[in-house]
Structure 1
Amino acid sequence: MQDKMMDAFNAQTRQMFEPMRKMNSLMLNNMEKMTQYQLEAMKRYSQMGTERIRSATEINDAESLRDFGTKQAEMMNELSQQMQEDARVMSEMSLQFKSEMEKLFSEAGQKMSEQVSATAKGEQPAKASSQSSRKS
């Protein structure tokens, strides 16, 4: 009998912690994806900056200065487009995470509802008793 009670307790505990485990896993996966993307973006921006510094060190006359200025304007346009793309991707990742969290909470709420209704059907209302109705 004790084994059945322990098994039931373990099963209930697993059911109780399952939604939290799923949520933690989802949050961790999202954090990993976002961090990885941000690191890649930082690497791209660093490389762009390093390339511009290298180009600046190669300026030795007016013509190379003019070329540098032209390429600087092109690079700023490219940087602007890259930042917009990065913002779009991060926004999509956030929306996907939000959607997955909503789905998780919906599933958890539905399971809880089912458990409550199953428990309510299986239990009888408690009978009221008072000390005055007891026989001495």
Structure 2
Amino acid sequence: MQDKMTEAFNNQTRQLFEPMRKLNSLMLNNMEKMTQYQLEAMKRYSQMGTDRIRSATEIEDAESMRDFGTRQAEMMNELSQQMQEDARAMGEMSLQFKSEMEKLFSEAGQKMTDQANAAAKGEQQSGKSEQPAKSTSQGSRKS
């Protein structure tokens, strides 16, 4: 008897915490993915910057200065495109996270509805009535 009660309690506890566990897992995975992407982006931007500084130290005359200016304009265009690509990728990750969150909440809501319906059906089958018992008065009885 006590084993059954303990098992039932453990099952109910698992059911209670399962949606929270899934939510925490989803949030952690998203945070890891976003952080990794941002670190990679920062590395790309840092590399671009150090390459430009390195190129600037190689300027020796007017012609190399003109070439540096031309490459600088190209690099700025490349940087702009890279930033747009990164913003698009981050937006897609956010939309995917939003979609996964909506799915998780929808599943949890459906599960709660199903459990409530099952509990209500169980009460009806066990013969329990939610209506109070009727009392009769002696004055209303006919002899």
TM-score by length of 1: 0.92
Aligned with 2:59: secondary structure? coil
1:125 aligned to 2:135? no
Amino acid at match of 2:106: S
CA distance in 2, matches of 1:69, 1:28: 44
Other-structure match for 1:3? 3
CA distance in 2, matches of 1:121, 1:50: 69
- What is the CA deviation profile of residues 1-58 of structure 1, one whole-angstrom value per residue up to 9, with x for unaligned ones? 1110110010000001001000100000000000000000000000000000000011
Amino acid at match of 1:52: R
- Give the drift of 1:106: 0.5
Other-structure match for 1:89? 89
Other-structure match for 2:106? 106
Aligned with 2:60: secondary structure? coil
- Give the drift of 1:66: 0.3
Map 1:1-136 onto structure 2 (within 5 A).
Answer: 1-123=1-123, 124-126=128-130, 128=132
Q: Which sections of structure 1, spanning at least 5 residues, go unmatched? A: 130-136
CA distance in 1, matches of 2:129, 2:75: 74
CA distance in 2, matches of 1:91, 1:120: 43
CA distance in 2, matches of 1:3, 1:127: 34
How many residues in Structure 1 have an aligned counterpart in Structure 2?
A: 129
- Give the drift of 1:128: 3.7
- Give the drift of 1:125: 3.5
Moved more, 116-125 or 97-106: 116-125
Runs (4+) off by over 2 Å: 124-129
CA distance in 1, matches of 2:14, 2:120: 21
Other-structure match for 1:134? none
Aligned with 2:20: secondary structure? helix
